[in-house]
A and B are shown apart, each in its own frame.
Chain A
Amino acid sequence: MRPRIQLLSPELIARILREAFELLMSPGVRVAPAAFELLRAAGAEVSDGVAHIPETLARKCLASVPRDFYLYNRQGERVVHYGGDDVHFDPGSCCVQMLDPETLEARPSETRDLVRIVQVTETLPQFAAQSTAVVCNDAPGEIGDLYRLLVVLQHSNKPVVTGSFSAAGLHGMIDLLAADSGGAENLRQKPRAVFDVCPSPPLNWSEFGSNNLLDLARAGVPAEIVSMPLAGGTAPVTLAGSVTQHGAEALAGITLHQLARPGSPIVWGGAPAIFDMRTGGAPMGAVETAMLNMACAEVGKHLGLPTHGYLVATDSKFVDAQAGAESARSVILGALTGINMISGAGMIESLACHSVEKLVIDAESIASAYRLVRGVEVSDDAGQTLATAMFAQTGLSGEFLKLKETRALFRKEQSLPSAVIDRSARGSESPTDIFARARARVDELVSTYRKPSFAEGVLQAFQRIMEHEAERAAAAAEMS
């Protein structure tokens, strides 16, 4: 039996959805002009930039969303299954700062930091996907989104969770992915990446968000809605109220997306959080933030949709006990909820800063969570007993270590941590703390990393796309 956790009763989910559909009509949802005609033609009323979406229309659009889909690696193998209760993790994305392990200060993140994160992520099986984890402050901001994806694609074979900074940036990013996949049709058939798209709370699909949804749907590249209500700040203070707002934002997004192209893959995701009443910030390590992510995912699962959440992060500025406690707790909760993609590993300071040392520590928590969700397993083989057969061999000698069953099964029964986790007895050497061990582990993983190889012409195609986009961005900058 797979262990599960459920926060919402079926009655409460029904009530959340009922009110979410009501919100779509009144007060309605702000959308960009590009979506007006699409919505009107489908029977929604649009006035003063606000769409009033009937439940029947939203439900019709829900019905055309694929129940599941896969992300593929460069070799064309299925790696991430968006659907059911499958759980995957990727590093948190879009940090602007990096924790310097030497000085313990946060400094602007650069290309070398993104490369290091990608290298470590590539070597860790706990991460099914890469993310465009940090902004490279050493690259021009106008093509920053494109550049981040380029760096990830150059260094990884894994699928990528990404997102664009502007409507224009998205096209270049899709071009890069298509070049890597051997064409736009191949990319549609075997998507390598999913794009995060964010509404602005409350109930606002801005110009940028709306256009991204429409463009991704038309390109057939998977979209991931990242709705981020802040309970008490930009959303109702109650957890149930914020989950309802999340639902309305996600339903509106799905409606836009499916109207643009029915059947395009889209994920019911988010980064909901509470609003901290002292700092005005979004505490990602709070247990209520984890509860919001779990509850939002439960609503998505009830609708039969692929799900996403933002967990595994901390509000601490260091990789310390607070970071460990907050991150490990939410890893477990997210895994027990069966959220398909859980973003956030490696992040500290409420998503403002990334630490590659934390990434390898989080990987240990993730391994534990994977073990936990496998539950207590019992062999179905006829004649297999739980204990009596082994006792028949050992009697009262206690010599279980010698049994062939022990040797055959311990790797399955136990998850074996790396040297990041200290379980050793105190010896003559002075013990190290987890941060020191994580630093050593990062170096070790980077030393085992191998760069991917590319089909002929792909790197040249990357080069051409980057040059073209740089020229476009330069021309656009001159225009403004």
Chain B
Amino acid sequence: MRQSIIDGAPDTATQLAQQALADGIDPLEAVNHGFAAGIMFAGDQFGCGQMFLPDLLGSAEAMKAAIKILEPEMLKRGSKRETLGKIVLGTARGDIHDIGKNLVATILSASGFQIFDLGTSVTPEQFVAKAKEVNADIVGVSALLTTTMAGQKAVIEALDRNGLRPRVKAIIGGAAVTSKWAAEIGADGFSRNAIDALELAKKLMGRETASA
């Protein structure tokens, strides 16, 4: 199972998931001790430069395929996969560049976060509404352009205005985003790539549970 994820082979992952169900293996066990190990390995390999973005996306797709097979059985058994947290994602108002945001969504989703992707050019109001609706833990705003980075600040201000922070964490990303900018607008964190974003989200959730 682990290897099918590392190889980015959705067909094999699907087959193995079906076989696991046929053999009566607990689907949650199959995810946690089988497939998820592949995603962890892929993330580590990416971190040290041995795997690349297309490999990582392939692994995420394979993971998605396996989960799709196992999920109905998990629901039936009432053994839902524990989500690491709920994250609302989108690109800042006026910004249509979404490669980075999509990568983050894919990697976080494959790693066990529940993702609510609002797409591109999202207004602060839309971020706030969705965060309220799903009781989000984290809101992530992506901006590629220096001209749309102001939109990240606007989202954070809107979250503040609506009293959602500090419970809801706000994170930002994008080519021109720096730690300085993140600090300036009071973001809870920023990341340079999807794997960093995963680490950041895990860290923020960890802090959340620790303080609760």
Residues of A within 8 A of B (CB): 96, 135, 141, 165, 200, 204, 206, 230, 232-234, 275, 277-281, 352
Given A200-B96, A352-B176, check contact A232 B54 (CB 8 Å).
yes
Asked if residues A280 and B52 are in contact (CB atoms below 8 Å), the reply is no
Q: Is the CB of B193 closer than 8 A to any CB of chain A?
A: yes
* Cα(A277)–Cα(B192), bound, Å: 14
Extra contacts besides A165-B147, A280-B193 (7): CB < 8 Å: A96-B176, A233-B99, A234-B99, A278-B49, A279-B192, A280-B99, A280-B194
Interface size on B, residues (CB 8 A): 18
Could you list some 26 contacts between A and B, CB below 8 A? A96-B176, A135-B146, A141-B147, A141-B150, A165-B147, A200-B96, A200-B97, A204-B96, A206-B96, A233-B99, A234-B99, A275-B53, A277-B52, A277-B53, A277-B54, A278-B46, A278-B49, A278-B53, A279-B192, A279-B193, A280-B99, A280-B100, A280-B103, A281-B175, A352-B175, A352-B176
* Cα(A200)–Cα(B97), bound, Å: 8
Asked if residues A96 and B99 are in contact (CB atoms below 8 Å), the reply is no
Task: List the B side residues contacting A135 at CB < 8 Å.
Answer: 146
B window 92-126: CB within 8 A of A? 96-97, 99-100, 103
Task: List the B side residues contacting A279 at CB < 8 Å.
Answer: 192-193
* Cα(A281)–Cα(B177), bound, Å: 13
* Cα(A234)–Cα(B146), bound, Å: 19
Task: List the B side residues contacting A200 at CB < 8 Å.
Answer: 96-97
Closest B residue, CB atoms, query A94 = B146
> Smallest CB–CB gap between A284 and chain B, Å?
12
Given A96-B146, A141-B150, check contact A278 B100 (CB 8 Å).
no
Task: List the A side residues contacting B97 at CB < 8 Å.
Answer: 200
Task: List the A side residues contacting B49 at CB < 8 Å.
Answer: 278
Residues of B within 8 A of A (CB): 46, 49, 52-54, 96-97, 99-100, 103, 146-147, 150, 175-176, 192-194
Task: List the B side residues contacting A280 at CB < 8 Å.
Answer: 53, 99-100, 103, 193-194
* Cα(A279)–Cα(B96), bound, Å: 20
Asked if residues B96 and A278 are in contact (CB atoms below 8 Å), the reply is no
* Cα(A145)–Cα(B67), bound, Å: 49
Contact among A141, A234, A278 for B52, CB-based, below 8 A: A278
Closest B residue, CB atoms, query A135 = B146
Identify the interface centre among B96, B147, B150, B176: most chain A CB within 10 Å of its CB. Answer: B147
Task: List the A side residues contacting B150 at CB < 8 Å.
Answer: 141
Task: List the B side residues contacting A278 at CB < 8 Å.
Answer: 46, 49, 52-53
**What are the nearest 10 A-B pairs in CB distance?**
A277-B52, A96-B146, A277-B53, A233-B99, A280-B193, A165-B147, A278-B49, A200-B96, A278-B52, A280-B53
Closest A residue, CB atoms, query B149 = A96
Task: List the B side residues contacting A277 at CB < 8 Å.
Answer: 52-54
* Cα(A250)–Cα(B150), bound, Å: 30
* Cα(A95)–Cα(B169), bound, Å: 30
> Smallest CB–CB gap between A104 and chain B, Å?
16
* Cα(A434)–Cα(B147), bound, Å: 34
> Smallest CB–CB gap between A152 and chain B, Å?
19
Closest A residue, CB atoms, query B96 = A200
Identify the interface centre among A135, A141, A275, A280: most chain B CB within 10 Å of its CB. Answer: A280
* Cα(A352)–Cα(B174), bound, Å: 12
* Cα(A204)–Cα(B98), bound, Å: 14
> Smallest CB–CB gap between A32 and chain B, Å?
12
Task: List the A side residues contacting B53 at CB < 8 Å.
Answer: 275, 277-278, 280
Task: List the B side residues contacting A165 at CB < 8 Å.
Answer: 147
> Smallest CB–CB gap between A264 and chain B, Å?
26
Task: List the A side residues contacting B52 at CB < 8 Å.
Answer: 277-278
* Cα(A277)–Cα(B49), bound, Å: 10
* Cα(A280)–Cα(B176), bound, Å: 13
* Cα(A466)–Cα(B155), bound, Å: 31
Closest B residue, CB atoms, query A351 = B175
> Smallest CB–CB gap between A288 and chain B, Å?
15
* Cα(A281)–Cα(B52), bound, Å: 12
* Cα(A200)–Cα(B99), bound, Å: 12
* Cα(A206)–Cα(B53), bound, Å: 27
* Cα(A28)–Cα(B125), bound, Å: 33
Task: List the B side residues contacting A275 at CB < 8 Å.
Answer: 53
* Cα(A352)–Cα(B176), bound, Å: 7
* Cα(A204)–Cα(B54), bound, Å: 24
* Cα(A230)–Cα(B175), bound, Å: 14
> Smallest CB–CB gap between A408 and chain B, Å?
52
Task: List the A side residues contacting B147 at CB < 8 Å.
Answer: 141, 165
* Cα(A331)–Cα(B58), bound, Å: 37
Task: List the A side residues contacting B175 at CB < 8 Å.
Answer: 281, 352
> Smallest CB–CB gap between B108 and chain A, Å?
15
Identify the interface centre among B49, B52, B150: most chain A CB within 10 Å of its CB. Answer: B52
Task: List the B side residues contacting A232 at CB < 8 Å.
Answer: 54
Closest A residue, CB atoms, query B49 = A278
